[in-house]
A and B are shown apart, each in its own frame.
Chain A
Amino acid sequence: DGGITQSPKYLFRKEGQNVTLSCEQNLNHDAMYWYRQDPGQGLRLIYYSQIVNDFQKGDIAEGYSVSREKKESFPLTVTSAQKNPTAFYLCASNSIYRENEKLFFGSGTQLSVL
């Protein structure tokens, strides 16, 4: 079955540590996105990529980094510069070259600070 897979489901970060969240899709989608969700709040865009080897900052990119070496993969690194990383992280993808480019989501990663 096609879909978006995020791993791990739960992740814990120590002070000063970088952690990487995985996102893989087999939907042949061109664009991939990372959103952050805080309790009781909506989704805020961290980074997005519409083509391999290219990505753009979203609204809250500081303290995060991404790469897009393959069409299927868009890992997110939460660096030590992100002082408040505890949140639910959602990866999404869509095809931006077809009409009605519906966004499909992974099941999320809950990141907590130890």
Chain B
Amino acid sequence: GEDVEQSLFLSVREGDSSVINCTYTDSSSTYLYWYKQEPGAGLQLLTYIFSNMDMKQDQRLTVLLNKKDKHLSLRIADTQTGDSAIYFCAEMDSSYKLIFGSGTRLLVRP
């Protein structure tokens, strides 16, 4: 079945760039998403990319998609302490359900 994998933890210094990586298995996914979860809260949609795109930029966020390798990344420029959270990658399967990765916990050090 479909599977989405992420590294569990990333630590960066404030002001540096963060890059969170994700791999997925379903080559028919039309949209791929990045969600952010702060402690004790629901998931907030950060950005998404259509599968026929290679890159999407939205302010400090850049999403790169390598469809051949089924690899998705999220780059956060000028990372701030408020960016500390868990980031989930997700792909949409053929029945419109989202398959989530296990999440990457981002810690931003002052």
What is A's interface to B at a CB cutoff of 8 Å? Answer: 4, 6, 31, 33, 35, 40-43, 45, 48, 50, 58, 88, 90, 92, 94, 96, 100-108, 110
Contacts and interface: CB of A to CB of B under 8 A. Distances in A.
B33 interface: yes
Given A42-B88, A43-B100, A105 B44 contact: yes
The binding surface of chain B is classed by DSSP as: strand
Interface string B73-110: 00000000000000010101000111011110000000
Contacts of B101: 42
Interface residues of B, number: 22
Interface of B: 8, 31, 33, 35, 40-45, 48, 50, 88, 90, 92, 96-98, 100-103
Nearest to A9: B40
